[in-house]
Structure 1
Amino acid sequence: MSEIFPELPLQEVVLTRLLLLVGGTLLDELERNLKPYGLNDSDFRTLMMIYSSPTGSATPSELCEYAQQGATNMTRIANVLVKAGLVTRATSAEDRRRIVLSITTAGKRMVRKILPPLFPNVHRAYATLTANDKRTLDRLLRQIAVNIDSLTQSDSRP
């Protein structure tokens, strides 16, 4: 490819390919573990965001922002979680136009059931990295995320 496209940023393309491979493999493993519970990655990430919020609740718009999901998909996710009894949907006490999703006792139990079995695979994925390697990887991935954010923001400007 670099012969056909001499300007090809070969190292960056290889790094992107590795990130996609690693991310895809981790996502496949997570999805495999969530399937018996009738959840997928976006459902589980949303449940985790509600679970880990200080109030145990969040608005769909807040969740869209943090989960990087559109409003339509967040509605689908909320419907799945409500139907499963993992969260409740109610109007906000402060603003009746806003909807609030709150984790239920069953939702908390589900998180405590799903998470611990995932830990060994997470440990194995990073087993050969030192603490310093992990800090470096964290820093570098965050830098790439900022760069990507700035790209997407400049692409959406008129």
Structure 2
Amino acid sequence: MPDTPPSLDPAQLGAYFALVEVSSLLRHQVEQQLRDAGDLSFVQFQLLARLGDSPTGSQRMTDLADGVVYSRSGLTYQAGLLEKAGLVTRSPSADDERSVTVTITDAGRERLAKVFPGHIEVVQQLLFEVLSPRDVQALAALLTPVRDHMRSTPPRSAAPRRRRR
């Protein structure tokens, strides 16, 4: 056991706090825009966007939960809200009767089309406006391996469930 606990050097600590603050500020503004433009939460937008990008417009709930890094139960609740609003449908998976497939509806695609212009504007203004094209490439080059490293461990939603005793 080491005598001194692990720590971050000043540069690491500064980078960490800057990343967390940028992420929080950006997410706050994005969430506000999504609520104002389309009455969507950030997670609901992520679900619709992932489904809208899917060639079939459908994905299994577990895959969606892993993709947006959200709990299975939380995703079930959000998908239920989207289904009530007519933006998605849920049905048993054709491949696995234990799974549920979520499919975006035409109304869901229309809602995405409604919120996307403002969403892009917020991201452009807050994140990319102050960066040069070269900075954007550098940012992507820095964050991509970090994301890949974090994704190398299965998300919580994909971890085996513990049995309650």
Shift in Å, 1:147: 4.0
Q: Calculate percent identity across the aligned residue pairs.
A: 30
Match of 1:28 in 2: 28
1:137 equivalent to 2:139? Answer yes
The equivalent of 1:52 in structure 2 is 53
Partner of 1:92: 93
Paired residue secondary structure (1:122): helix
Structure 1 residue 149, shift from structure 2 partner:
4.4
How far residue 148 of structure 1 moved from its aligned partner, in angstroms, is 3.8
Say if 1:59 and 1:147 are closer, same or farther in 2 by CA, change over 3 A. closer
CA RMSD of aligned residues (A): 2.2
Deviation at 1:145, TM superposition (A): 2.2
> Could you tell me how far 1:7 is from its partner in structure 2?
5.0
Q: Distance in 2 between matches of 1:116 and 1:101?
A: 24
Give the letter for the 1:30 counterpart: V
Aligned length: 149
Unaligned runs of 5+ in 1: none
TM-score for the superposition, normalised by structure 1? 0.84
Structure 1: distance between partners of 2:80 and 2:63: 16
Tell whether the 8 Å contact from 2:86 to 2:108 is kept in structure 1 after alignment: yes
* Corresponding residue of 2:12: 12
Partner of 1:105: 106
| Partner secondary structure for residue 70 of structure 2 | coil
Q: Secondary structure at the match of 2:91?
A: strand
**Structure 2 length as normaliser, TM-score?**
0.81
| TM-superposed deviation, 1:57 | 0.5
Distance 1:6 1:89, change over 3 A: closer
1:34 to partner: Cα distance = 1.7
CA distance in 1, matches of 2:133, 2:151: 27
Three-state SS of the structure 2 residue aligned to 1:89 is strand
Q: Relative contact order (C-alpha < 8 Å, sep 6+): which is higher? A: 2
Aligned to 2:163: none
Any conservation in 1 of the 2:91–2:102 contact (CA below 8 Å)?
A: yes
- Taking a change above 3 Å as real, the CA distance of residues 60 and 7 of structure 1, as seen in their structure-2 partners, is closer
- Is there any run of 5+ residues in structure 2 with no aligned partner, and where? 160-165
How far has the Cα of 1:124 moved from its partner? 1.9
Task: Measure how far apart 1:6 and its partner are.
Answer: 10
Counterpart AA for 2:24:
G
Alpha-carbon distance change, 132 to 81 in structure 1, aligned in 2, over 3 angstroms: same
Tell me which moved more, 120-129 or 37-46.
120-129
